Structures are given as structure tokens and as C-alpha cells.
Amino acid sequence: MELFANLALGFSVALTPETLALAVVGCILGTMIGALPGLGPSNGVAILIPLAFSFGLDATHSLVLMTAVYYGAMYGGRISSILLNIPGDEPAMMTTLDGYPMAKAGRAGDALVLSGVASFVGAFLATIGLMLLAPVLARVAFMFGPAEYFALYLLAFCTLGGLGSNNQAKAAISVCLGLGIAMIGVDKSTGLTRFTGGSLHLFDGVDFLVAIVGLFAVAEVFVFIESHGRDSAIGVKLEKIRIPVKDIMNSGWTMLRGTAIGFVAGLLPGAGASLGSFLAYMLEKSTARDKSTFGTGEPKGVAAPEAGNNAAAGGALVPMLTLGVPGSGTTAVLLALLMTLNITPGPLLFTERPEVVWGLIASLLIANVVLLILNVPLVRVFSRILQVPAAVLLPGVTMISFVGIYSLSGSYFDLLLMIGFGVLGYALRKMSIPAVPVILGILLGGHMEVSLRRAMVLSDGDWTYLFASPISIGLWIAAVAGFILPLFLRPYLRTPVQVTPDDDSGRDRG
């Protein structure tokens, strides 16, 4: 009964005209961003966060808008995967294996509609999983003390760095960089300044949003200028759109299996949608009667990864809302949004701000229906997004970034700092160092330091206190495994080679 009462509260928030409008706008913007190769949900949310603040939205409306963008980008990522053989974001890579061969065989419309339905099934069921599991995990989180939280933050750093990078050393460098930036400012315990260089602007530390917009949005502009200075074009001609009823019916169990795997992958801090789509595809291929059809345009090879990566997006919200630990790069950006709005994710969020949590869950259920409507009959419209010239896209991203950040603080120093982070993000990309652990370090570094200090105070300086409980021991083991195991699993997790739209070699992969 409590669940239905909470849902009623959520729908009372979500069904207001303003909230509904924001959910629809977020879905449209997210799908457009997801369809553009390279941008992806992390960059999309980072670019639009300043816009939400510029409009003066409150916490609930900001969160609804950004999560609708998140879900929309996850839906949109499949469009360029199928039509261009270039994934809109990393989780959509597995969709290229069979989506592009289907398109080359004249079934681009079928692949787009089937992937849209699979995305809906994955995301909708994962949202129900979020609704059922998050309150339970929130109650478990009350058992956490400072030692357990310290181990949990360590787990997030290890798994996000270990699984999100091809090089453990580079991931560790990225995490240390983020933790170092988090230490900038006045130490609240001693009152001493750290790494400020005597600048008054840095006494309060580095603003999350300035770092995020710089590392993601501004760096993306630099990368676009360097590598995408030409107009894009649709690689495969899109014929008449129809609903492939037979393929959808045959892929029903495939979608459900992909959803289950993707949701579990999303629950693991750092694992995220990429692992979910990979595992869903490999399971479907390994259990198929005829494995030779995968990689040649097999509809189940499209449905499985799309259900998996969209389910992982819902799963990643569970640790973010209940523990304050992001499950993916995009939820790390959403976590920054919450903290900027003075909302502290964690077990108390469900009792202190139920209207925010349940309003968000109800909005996600509505947003998924909106996305299904948008991504099946209107898929031809969104495919036109691929023809947006860089000369239009780049000034828009730049303008939103600068206006948004300046409207937040009115400080020219923050604009300079944002450009500095943009240069840093560009340099990190050139050196193949992941930027997400930097953000995670800035977000969680302060909390990790506080947890460590409290643990040392409670134990009178005994460091073995950090390993004293079964929960903390389990988290330490998971953290070490999350950082080391990818070294051995990487040959199996290797991402598919991208080919140009004119290259037919994609038919032979998988």
C-alpha cells in the first residue's frame, strides 16, 4: 500500500502541465542529442544543465528535464548506429553489429522500429525495477557508517575507472586528478587553504557545473572543430517506415532477457550501459540455435543490446538515489545537478524529499511512453538530425555553455575556469585518459575525505576500523576486483571496430 501511495504522490507531481511539458521537451532534446554521433547522454546532460538553471527551474522540474534528456539520448543513440554504422554513444556500439547490416539490406525502418520497441521495454521495466528496489536499498543504506561509505566511494572509483577505461593506470591518474581538484579551497576542519594559489575565487573550491560543462561540452567543441568540421550525411537511405510485427513478436523473450541483464549491470557502480548491452548481445548470440546469423542483420541482435543498455540506464539511477554513488558517467553528471540544488542523495532522500524521488519515477514512466511514440512514427524526423551541419551545431553548444555558466554565478572567472577545463578535457581525450573519473573525484572527493576523517576519529586512529565490518570487507573486495578483473576480461570486452557507411565489412563482424 505504501508503494501505491508513493506512486500516487509521484503522479500528482508528474501530471502537472509544466512537468509533462518538461518531460516531453527533455525526450525530444535527448533523442536529438543521442542521434548525433559522439555527443551521447553525458555530454547532452552536461550541456543542458546550465539551461535548466537559466530558466529558474526548481529541483523536481530540473531533475525531470535532465533525466528525460538522459533517457532520450539512450533511445537516440541507436539511430546513427543503424543508419551510419557509427554509434551515437558507447553503449550503442553493439547495435551496429546487426543494425547496420539490416539497414544495408533495405530494412533500416524495421531495425529502427524494432530497436525503439526494445528500448521502450528495457527502459520501462527498469523504471519499475527502480521503483521496487530503490526503497529497499535505501533501508539497507542505514546500516552504513563512515567506514562503509569510504569503501563504497572507493568501489565507485575502482569500477568506474576499471571498466570505463582501456588502461588501469590512466584511470587511476584520472581519479587522482579529480580528488586533487576536490581538495582545492578552504579545509573546513582546519580553516587552512589548499591549492588555491592565493586566489579568492578558489576559496570555495571548484564548482561542479563549471568543471562538468568544461570537461564535456567545451572539450566536445574542440574535438568537433578538429575532427567533425564537415557536414554529416545519412549513410543508408530510409525507406517507408512500417512496424515489423513478426520481428517484434520473435524478439519478445530476447528483450526481457536483455532487460534483466542490463538492469543488474546498471546497479553496479561504474558498470553501466556499455556492459549491459555487451552482455545482453553475447547471451543472445551464445544461446541462439543458429549463431551464424548474428552480425549479418539478425533482428534479435538489435533487440538484445538496445533492451540491455536502456535497462542499465534505469538501474544506474538506483545507487545514485539511494547511496549517492553514480552508476554511470551520466548519473555522475546528474548527481552533480542534485548536489548543486542542495539535495543530498542517500537513504534520507526517500523520507525527506519524497516528492522529488517519486515525481522523478512517475515522470520516467511517462517519458518512456512519450519516447516510444516519438521514436516509432517520428523516427524519420529524428534521422534528419544526422544532417545538421557542424556550423550550426557548434555555435549552439558554445552559446548554451557560456550563457548558462555566466547566468549561474555572473563571474568571468568561472568562464575562464570553464575554458581551462575544456582544454584539460581535450588534452585528456588526446591522451586517451577518461574524463568521467575526474568528475567523480570532484563530486565524491570531499565526502570520501569526511568519511575517512570520521572513521579515524571513531577508531582513535586505528586504520583497521576501515575493514572491521562484513559490509566494508565485501565492498573492499568488490573494489579490488572491479579494478583488476577488467585486465583479464578486456580481450572479451573489446569494442567492435567502427567502419565507414560505405564499408560493407560490418556484415562479417560479430
Dist CA 492 CA 494 (whole Å): 6
Greater confidence (52 vs 470) lies with: 470
Does the pLDDT value for residue 273 go beyond 50? yes
User: For position 105, what pLDDT does the model report?
Assistant: 82
DSSP 148: H
Does the pLDDT value for residue 361 go beyond 60? yes
Burial annotation 265-301 (CB, 10 A radius, 16+ → b, else e): bbbbbbbbbbbbbbbbbbbbbeebeeeebbbbbbbbb
Identify which of 2-6, 274-278, 377-381, 417-421 has the greatest average pLDDT. 417-421
User: For position 507, what pLDDT does the model report?
Assistant: 39
Does the pLDDT value for residue 497 go beyond 60? no
Cβ 200 vs Cβ 409: under 8 Å: no
CA distances from 45 to 27, 164, 506 (A): 12, 19, 31
The distance of Cα 259 from the centroid of its chain, to the nearest Å, equals 17
CA distances from 118 to 74, 133, 376 (A): 12, 22, 11
User: For position 502, what pLDDT does the model report?
Assistant: 42
DSSP 461: T
Identify which of 120-129, 259-268, 269-278, 311-320 has the greatest average pLDDT. 120-129
Task: State which amino acid sits at residue 300.
Answer: K
Does the pLDDT value for residue 269 go beyond 70? no
User: For position 427, what pLDDT does the model report?
Assistant: 93
Q: Tell me the chain's radius of gyration from C-alpha atoms.
A: 22
User: For position 503, what pLDDT does the model report?
Assistant: 42
**At a CB cut-off of 8 Å and minimum separation 6, what does 290 contact?**
none
DSSP 186: E
Three state DSSP letters for 409-430? HCCHHHHHHHHHHHHHHHHHHH
Dist CA 96 CA 404 (whole Å): 35
Dist CA 280 CA 307 (whole Å): 8
User: For position 504, what pLDDT does the model report?
Assistant: 41
pTM (2 d.p.): 0.73
In the structure, what pLDDT confidence band is assigned to residue 87 with cuts at 50, 70 and 90? low
Percent of the chain past pLDDT 90, that is, above it, reads 4
Does the pLDDT value for residue 122 go beyond 70? yes
Cβ 251 vs Cβ 306: under 8 Å: no
- Exposed/middle/buried for residue 29 (C-beta within 10 Å: 0-12, 13-18, 19+): buried
Q: How does the average pLDDT of the chain come out, rounded?
A: 79
Largest CA distance in the chain: 71
DSSP 270: T
Burial annotation 414-449 (CB, 10 A radius, 16+ → b, else e): bbebbeebbebbbebbeeebbbbbbbbbbbbbbbbb
- Per-residue pLDDT tens digits for 436-454: 788 778 877 888 888 899 8
User: For position 420, what pLDDT does the model report?
Assistant: 92
Mean predicted confidence (pLDDT) in 461-483: 86
Does the pLDDT value for residue 137 go beyond 70? yes
Identify which of 78-82, 97-101, 424-428, 461-465 has the greatest average pLDDT. 424-428
In the structure, what pLDDT confidence band is assigned to residue 506 with cuts at 50, 70 and 90? very low
In the structure, what pLDDT confidence band is assigned to residue 144 with cuts at 50, 70 and 90? confident
Cβ 302 vs Cβ 329: under 8 Å: no
DSSP 298-348: -HHHHHHHHHHHHHHHHHHHHHHHHHS--SSHHHHHHHHHHHHTT---STT
DSSP 243: -
Dist CA 510 CA 506 (whole Å): 8
Does the pLDDT value for residue 472 go beyond 60? yes
Task: State which amino acid sits at residue 78.
Answer: R
Mean predicted confidence (pLDDT) in 74-96: 73
User: For position 283, what pLDDT does the model report?
Assistant: 82
Dist CA 342 CA 461 (whole Å): 31
Q: Where are the beta strands (DSSP E) in 170-294?
A: 185-186, 193-194
Percent of the chain past pLDDT 70, that is, above it, reads 84
User: For position 284, what pLDDT does the model report?
Assistant: 85
Mean predicted confidence (pLDDT) in 88-103: 77
**At a CB cut-off of 8 Å and minimum separation 6, what does 424 contact?**
214, 215, 219
Does the pLDDT value for residue 235 go beyond 60? no
What interhelical angle do 272-287 and 252-267 show, nearest 10? 140
